Amino acid sequence: MNQDRNQTMKPLTLTILGGVDKDGLPDAIDKIEIARGEIIGIVGPTGSGKSTLIADIEQFAQGDTPSARRILINGAPPEPQLRSDPRKKLVAQLSQNMHFLADMSVCDFLRMHAKSRGKDIALAEKVVLLANTLTGEPIDPKHQLTILSGGQSRALMAADIAVISDSPIVLIDEIENAGIKKQEALRLLSGEGKIVAVVTHDPMLALMASRRIVMKNGGMTKVISTSTEEHRIFQDIERVDSWLTSLRETIRQGEVVA
């Protein structure tokens, strides 16, 4: 078994080694280690470098990006194939702007993906069932991909990443208005042992993470561990969000709000 395959099979950790901010000053954070199953938030004002950090992780940067950061897998630089060969890619991405272009049914797409991964095509049914727990718009396996709404597309991809994809790292870029049940999607992915890094302005998602990286002027300024008090606040926000979701569905179905 070659080394890059070993890197995907043994317990996986993602390490971010600090680089520089927009002014060329060193990151305040030298090193961050993230383990399987962890949700980590990336927060900061617009233009603070959140998407740049996500890009560094996606590319497995080795000091060759503007930030000069380095990304390690299991404590070591990734094999070159993991950066260049799409078939060996360890990273999946889920963004707010996501639509399918392939002219095929949901079922055919999922079966094709499962087959390409060497997995049972029967997993397609499980993916659809899971996706339908993440969106208020039911997905029929016979639907064409091109007619899915943005929320349906993101729900389908989240479930696909959780069940079929081998990628152990999931990068999520601002899905607060993505039309899916956000916290359920994050729980699903982390529950499957994925490392989940989420760029967000949403306090619920930020406090749901075990830690959050604070970005400013392109640099990593600090890492905050979610406190017990913050977790209680998250639970309060989640209850309110659940109520708003229910209210939204009532209005969507043309019912009277009482």
Q: Give the tokens for residue 127.
A: 């993916």
Q: What is the pLDDT of residue 13?
A: 94
Distance in angstroms (rounded) separating the CA atoms of residues 245 and 240: 9
Distance in angstroms (rounded) separating the CA atoms of residues 126 and 139: 12
Q: What is the pLDDT of residue 3?
A: 41
Q: What is the pLDDT of residue 178?
A: 57
Distance in angstroms (rounded) separating the CA atoms of residues 17 and 75: 10
Q: Please tell me which residue, 136 or 198, carries the higher pLDDT value.
A: 198
Which of 27-31, 91-95, 137-141, 200-204 has the highest average model confidence (pLDDT)? 27-31
Distance in angstroms (rounded) separating the CA atoms of residues 237 and 239: 5
What number is the average pLDDT over the span 23-45? 96
Q: What is the pLDDT of residue 93?
A: 86
* Nearest of 205, 113, 86, 101 to residue 153 by alpha carbon: 101
Q: Running DSSP on this structure, what letter comes out for residue 85?
A: -
- Count CA atoms closer than 13 A to 132's CA, side-chain side: 11
N- to C-terminal Cα separation, the chain: 62
Q: What is the pLDDT of residue 235?
A: 93
Q: What is the pLDDT of residue 80?
A: 86
Give the pLDDT confidence of 107-160 residue by residue, as tens digits.
Answer: 999 999 999 888 999 999 999 999 999 888 899 999 999 888 888 888 899 999
Q: Are 128 and 159 in contact (CB under 8 A)?
A: yes
- Chain CA centroid to CA 119, Å: 22
What number is the average pLDDT over the span 85-91? 79
Determine the longest span between alpha carbons in the chain, in angstroms: 62
Radius of gyration (C-alpha) of the chain in whole angstroms: 19
Q: What is the pLDDT of residue 35?
A: 95
What number is the average pLDDT over the span 195-224? 95
Q: Please tell me which residue, 32 or 98, carries the higher pLDDT value.
A: 32
List domains and CATH numbers for the chain.
1-90+169-226 (3.40.50.300), 97-166 (1.10.8)
Range list of β-strands (E), the chain: 13-17, 31-35, 39-43, 70-73, 91-95, 169-173, 195-199, 211-216, 219-225
Q: What is the pLDDT of residue 168?
A: 93
47 pLDDT band, cuts 50/70/90, is very high
Give the pLDDT confidence of 3-31 residue by residue, as tens digits.
Answer: 444 344 456 899 999 999 999 999 999 99
Q: Running DSSP on this structure, what letter comes out for residue 147?
A: G
Q: What is the DSSP string of 140-173?
A: PTTSBGGG--HHHHHHHHHHHHHHT---SEEEEE
